Amino acid sequence: MSKKRLSSLLLLQLAAIFAMLAFLTVSAQSCSRRDRFTSDGRTIIYFWHIYPDNDPDRAFINRLVAEFEEQNPDIVVEQHGINFWDYYTALNIIQSGGGRDAPDVFFQTIASIPQRARRISMNLVGFLRDDDDIHPDNFPADEVKVAFYDNGLYGVPFSADARYLFYNRTMLREAGFVDEHGEARAPRTLEEMYEMARALTRVNATNTGYETIGFNPNMGNNNLMNFIWPQGGNAFDENGMPTTLTDPVIGDAFMWWRRFVQIYRVAWYNALVSSSMAMGDDGGGDRSVFINGHVGMVIHNMTMAHYINMVDNDLDWGVAPIPFAEGYQTSFAGGFSLEVAQGILSEYRGRETAEKAWRLVRFLTSFEVQTRLFGEMGIMPALISAGEYLIHNDDTLTENQRRILYLSRYRRQFDYIPAWPNWFSIYGTHLSNFQVGRGGHTLDATLRMIDDELREGIERHNRLRR
């Protein structure tokens, strides 16, 4: 790399750092922690989330806050919304400083709750009441495992984010993939999905590219666990050790991913998906290649359904589970938690303020609020009871919306491995190299490299603890 090029990159990085620092300075000034109370004696709770003023969903958040304040006249909520792409950077910086400008209540990711237990997020278990909607039976087992970590409660799931197989019914019918009633039928196995992917892939009239493609796992919002867990595989055993070399499903998942990718000529595929939105081929917006009828099947979260409804172009679509082996129906899930800062217990704020912050968390994760998230914001409620209620009682839901709510019960978070909380990034890196055969990434070499890296990380963690 030339010195001129390197200097330009350094300048861009410095500019980005200064811009973030300036942003945080303004953030701190606009959400100052100097005031514990309003002039009339009400407690101020500082709440950070991912819905800035210009976000369409901010209006609903504002209504919820207004309702909460009406029900709790001794509390004022000071909101601070930051767009999703900048939120975690801003939150991590301001929390690592340990100052008074860090929020009292904040959004975070469900799977990483244990990473913040006691250090950043306080234990809320002492605030629980018998009549709360927040109890283990109301969340999937893996979310209970991380939320109720180490016999505490360090975060409460707010919204869920499962993965589904969206499919174009018209394309499947025309290709002859139908049930006994002549209706489009989604694939039930990876073998069927591969057959459909090939059949739905068609070259354009000028033989210069694809008119349609059937399925590519790199499209949408997908990761390798969606090819491992539903087939009965696991990345770790019950002792938290990697199974990369001992679970044959993992190797099969890598091979299936590459088989799907190799259906397509790279240049033709890239040319087709480049017409999609700025996020690349993530599948959303009015330029989405799936929504515009050029893709037969895509794995995505419910954001895809939200985009389809926004565009409203008469797409005949369906939603199904990702193909699974009998007894192993599941899909990768993300989602947001609500947490209360450990620092709220300091002399500056105190336990009384912590209880009031908990009231906000309890309100936002209550059954009454959770049943409104799906219709108002197009996001999945975390409470199982809320989803079940909507399925059976909301007459405004479409068939596809009920299906999405039903399938969300099979969601699964990444396994929490204390020695390597972000272990899944290793899988992602090696999958990228394997699917194109980069750097000697045969299947055996890929699996061994993943296994070696995970074991080295776990051993290093254990040495540091001793």
Residue by residue, pLDDT tens for the chain (466 residues) are 444 444 444 444 544 444 454 444 444 444 444 578 899 999 999 999 999 999 989 999 999 999 999 999 999 999 999 999 999 999 999 998 766 788 999 999 999 999 999 889 999 999 998 888 888 889 988 899 999 999 999 999 999 989 999 999 999 999 999 999 999 999 999 999 999 999 999 999 999 999 999 999 999 999 999 999 999 999 999 999 999 999 999 999 999 999 999 999 999 998 888 765 433 344 456 678 899 899 999 999 988 888 888 887 789 999 999 999 999 999 999 999 999 999 888 756 688 899 999 999 999 999 999 999 998 988 899 999 999 999 999 999 999 999 999 999 999 999 999 888 889 999 999 999 999 887 778 999 999 999 999 999 999 988 887 6
In angstroms, the first-to-last Cα distance of the chain is 43
- Give the C-alpha separation, 418 to 409, whole Å: 26
Q: Residue 151, by phi and psi: left (phi above 0), alpha (psi -120 to 50) or beta?
A: left
- Give the C-alpha separation, 433 to 42, whole Å: 56
For 297, counting Cβ atoms within 10 Å of its Cβ (0-12 exposed, 13-18 middle, 19+ buried), the class is buried
- Give the C-alpha separation, 411 to 141, whole Å: 10
* 134 touches 128 (CB < 8 A): yes
Instruction: Please name the amino acid found at residue 227.
Output: F
Total count of residues recorded for the chain: 466
pLDDT of res. 398:
93
Query: Rounded to an integer, what is the distance from CA 227 to the centroid of its chain?
Result: 17
Residue with tokens 């609903």: 60
User: Where are the alpha helices (H) located in 266-423, listed in sequence order?
Assistant: 266-273, 303-311, 351-364, 367-377, 384-393, 399-407
- Count CB neighbours of 16 within 10 A: 11
* 241 touches 452 (CB < 8 A): no
Q: Which two tokens stand for residue 351?
A: 């336990």
* 76 touches 35 (CB < 8 A): no
* 284 touches 303 (CB < 8 A): yes
Which of 294, 287, 224 minimizes the C-alpha distance to 252? Answer: 224
- Give the C-alpha separation, 383 to 381, whole Å: 6
* 296 touches 283 (CB < 8 A): no
Q: Which two tokens stand for residue 186?
A: 């989604």
Q: Is 154 helix (H, G, I), strand (E, B) or coil?
A: coil
- Give the C-alpha separation, 9 to 48, whole Å: 32
DSSP 123: -
Helix count and strand count (H, E) for the chain: 17, 13
Relative to beta strand 105-109, strand 43-49 is parallel
pTM for this predicted structure: 0.87
CA distances in angstroms from 275 to 145, 258, 303, listed in the order given: 41, 23, 19
User: Where are the alpha helices (H) located in 97-219, listed in sequence order?
Assistant: 113-116, 141-147, 169-174, 190-199
* 310 touches 188 (CB < 8 A): no
DSSP 186: -
- Give the C-alpha separation, 415 to 8, whole Å: 40
State the Cα torsion 283-284-288-290 to the nearest 10°.
Answer: 50
Query: Rounded to an integer, what is the distance from CA 224 to the centroid of its chain?
Result: 14
Domains of the chain: 28-161+333-412 (3.40.190.10), 164-330+420-465 (3.40.190.10)
